[in-house]
Structure 1
């Protein structure tokens, strides 16, 4: 009797142990399935426009990093300053206004302008008298009727006044006052300044009634029809550069597109503080670049190329500071079984991303190159 009871206890204990082991094994298998496989049906695959592809060899450019700004040539930028001090009488322009060469910009008023014209008229009147006296003394000297001293004095007075007359005339022309109008008695107390180039008003530092001196900057005109790049390249990279090399330009504040440019000139001196060299570049498509001078740019100068294994950038998904792709494990009964695999990525170029650990993948491995993002992030 006791033996039977003992046997039953032993059998019960063995049965519980076996059941526990089976449940544990089932749990482990279940956990492995959840962690390792992602299942996608044929309908889901087609309905979400998913696509498989393989790691392939691609050309990746070798590039030198640089930063800089968009600028215009010196001849496309004009600073407007007066030649004489005065008070701002009128200016119809605002920042952003477009102007044509020769267009009126601002008028200044000053009594000194009137005095300048009066001095010009006085010099003109004296010039006529002194010229007549000079010619008379010259004739008398040739006939030896007058002394050489009188002739030389008349010549000196005439030439000195002629010089003064020409200088005053030039000042009037610089102030845009027509000397012929002054000679007719048309004296003005104002002068007008006109645009030396066509462009847009990019700076305005004056207002009506303001006093300005000859050294003051009144406004600035910039012609953006020929925007170019002014890049700063570290001296260690300068020897790798040459004219004609391609530049990939990014303007963070304006557009996400990459713009094409090329090196036009390379500076021959080094900035001692920054240890950089200035590189001048031209956009390949100037007509469609509607940017402003002074914009900051990031640029990569292409100095060569290298072949590397890569996959479409769309297939790489970042999650928790790591990058992953989905690799096809198998396809059974219209179901795709996909494994998540970590990848070490490098540079990206024209829609492809360099894979540093391509050796971890087998030849012929198929990756989900489109549609991986929702599957990985949903895990």
Structure 2
């Protein structure tokens, strides 16, 4: 092949090999030999001892990989921030970060004198409501019989409806702060209210301590349910057209494990966000098999459309002097193997296999040293 090129690094390696002929016999038996015509000679004993293997170009699929980063997350309905509708002082708070809670479980209690005022107003309106309802009914009967004036009837109707609206509003307020209207009507007035877990999960944040004051809508606790987790990835604008629902995702948690996990694209965002990226939502193929935590950083490869190409195992390609080489079998004579170093152009790699950009320069019957090339180049 007229296109053969030899790097300075390779030539120096060959000269070193020749110089090793003056060493001990054991080393000489395990080292290849550079012969005058530029080829590398490997004896059968050397070939067998180092586990060398010959192979030909193979047709393989090489998928297009889109790299993306993101995090482990949960759906919005699996994340809940607990806050108080009305402010107050934290009276009890027995939970710590990491505690498991069940939906409806008591989380904490809040104390506030304003709760007494609210209950008092409700009791007063409740007491008036029966009277105003009765008066409204009486005035309606008198008005229908033309005994009383329309003005008296309309005033009775207005007073009753206003009282009923205030009663219903106060009842809703009591319900929102988890105070039972029935208990209040029975005369049981309290200065404290209790907050309950809206979902089952684990406590991930505790923002207050016992005795501290919390204003209305201040986040007190956060609860996350990890029963269903997903990947929330950021894909650059230039790659988003290659992403489709159902594509495979291979991802790692670099800070926690060297293992590779599997997911698939479930949703692709429709708007461009910060850094010209689009959100891609991925579902894990095995949620129960691993103990993932919300917020973990992930590095992922999204497997897009695949193409076929001829190539060789990646270990058969060795870099030297900023170039890549393979060893092509030129001749097999008297049990010895004669190889030629040939320059190649790497196109893409996947799963331990590398496609060659200049694969048309080789024939289907050409044989390559697919295992052990590094041992020869490294001598």
- The correspondence for 2:172, drawn from 160, 170, 173, is 170
Tell me how far 1:58 sits from its aligned partner.
0.5
- The correspondence for 1:220, drawn from 222, 225, 228, is 222
Residue aligning to 2:286: 285
Residue aligning to 2:353: 352
- For the residue of structure 1 that corresponds to 2:283, the secondary structure is strand
Inter-partner Cα distance in structure 1 for 2:158 and 2:59: 87
Q: Say whether residues 1:296 and 2:284 are aligned partners.
A: no
Inter-partner Cα distance in structure 2 for 1:217 and 1:356: 58
Alpha carbons of 1:253 and 1:29: their partners in 2 closer, same or farther (altered >3 Å)? closer
Alpha carbons of 1:54 and 1:121: their partners in 2 closer, same or farther (altered >3 Å)? same
TM-score, normalised by the number of residues in structure 1: 0.79
Tell me how far 1:83 sits from its aligned partner.
0.3
- For the residue of structure 1 that corresponds to 2:138, the secondary structure is helix
* Largest Rg, 1 or 2: 1
Alpha carbons of 1:112 and 1:38: their partners in 2 closer, same or farther (altered >3 Å)? farther
Inter-partner Cα distance in structure 2 for 1:72 and 1:78: 11
Tell me how far 1:176 sits from its aligned partner.
1.5
Tell me how far 1:318 sits from its aligned partner.
5.8
The correspondence of residues 115-264 of structure 1 with structure 2, limited to 5 A, is 115-264=117-266
Q: Say whether residues 1:74 and 2:67 are aligned partners.
A: no
Tell me how far 1:143 sits from its aligned partner.
2.2
TM-score, normalised by the number of residues in structure 2: 0.79
Alpha carbons of 1:352 and 1:115: their partners in 2 closer, same or farther (altered >3 Å)? same
Is the CA contact (8 Å cut-off) linking 2:125 and 2:163 kept in structure 1? Answer: yes
Is the CA contact (8 Å cut-off) linking 1:38 and 1:339 kept in structure 2? Answer: no
Alpha carbons of 1:234 and 1:145: their partners in 2 closer, same or farther (altered >3 Å)? same
How many residue pairs match? The answer is 350
Inter-partner Cα distance in structure 2 for 1:260 and 1:266: 17
- Give 5+ residue unaligned stretches, structure 2: 1-14, 20-32
Is the deviation greater in 120-129 or in 254-263?
Answer: 254-263
Please list the CA deviations of residues 226-279 of structure 1 after superposition, one character each: whole Å capped at 9, or x if unmatched.
Answer: 2222233333433333322333333332333333332222222223x5333322
Residue aligning to 2:307: 306
The correspondence of residues 97-108 of structure 1 with structure 2, limited to 5 A, is 97-108=99-110
Alpha carbons of 1:52 and 1:186: their partners in 2 closer, same or farther (altered >3 Å)? farther
Please list the CA deviations of residues 115-171 of structure 1 after superposition, one character each: whole Å capped at 9, or x if unmatched.
Answer: 222222112111122122222222222222222111211111111111111111111
Is the CA contact (8 Å cut-off) linking 2:72 and 2:296 kept in structure 1? Answer: yes
Tell me how far 1:337 sits from its aligned partner.
6.4
Alpha carbons of 1:316 and 1:217: their partners in 2 closer, same or farther (altered >3 Å)? farther
Tell me how far 1:204 sits from its aligned partner.
1.8
- Give 5+ residue unaligned stretches, structure 1: 1-26
Alpha carbons of 1:46 and 1:96: their partners in 2 closer, same or farther (altered >3 Å)? farther
Is the deviation greater in 312-321 or in 65-74?
Answer: 312-321
Is the CA contact (8 Å cut-off) linking 2:323 and 2:343 kept in structure 1? Answer: yes
Is the CA contact (8 Å cut-off) linking 1:65 and 1:301 kept in structure 2? Answer: yes
Please list the CA deviations of residues 7-57 of structure 1 after superposition, one character each: whole Å capped at 9, or x if unmatched.
Answer: xxxxxxxxxxxxxxxxxxxx9993573997475764x76666554433312
Residue aligning to 1:13: none
Is the CA contact (8 Å cut-off) linking 2:41 and 2:336 kept in structure 1? Answer: no
Tell me how far 1:336 sits from its aligned partner.
6.2
Alpha carbons of 1:160 and 1:325: their partners in 2 closer, same or farther (altered >3 Å)? same
Alpha carbons of 1:29 and 1:175: their partners in 2 closer, same or farther (altered >3 Å)? closer
Residue aligning to 2:18: 30
Tell me how far 1:367 sits from its aligned partner.
4.0
Tell me how far 1:79 sits from its aligned partner.
1.0
- For the residue of structure 2 that corresponds to 1:226, the secondary structure is coil
- For the residue of structure 1 that corresponds to 2:173, the secondary structure is helix
Inter-partner Cα distance in structure 1 for 2:163 and 2:109: 31
Tell me how far 1:280 sits from its aligned partner.
2.3
- For the residue of structure 1 that corresponds to 2:155, the secondary structure is helix
Is the CA contact (8 Å cut-off) linking 1:340 and 1:376 kept in structure 2? Answer: no
Residue aligning to 1:275: 276
Alpha carbons of 1:305 and 1:112: their partners in 2 closer, same or farther (altered >3 Å)? same
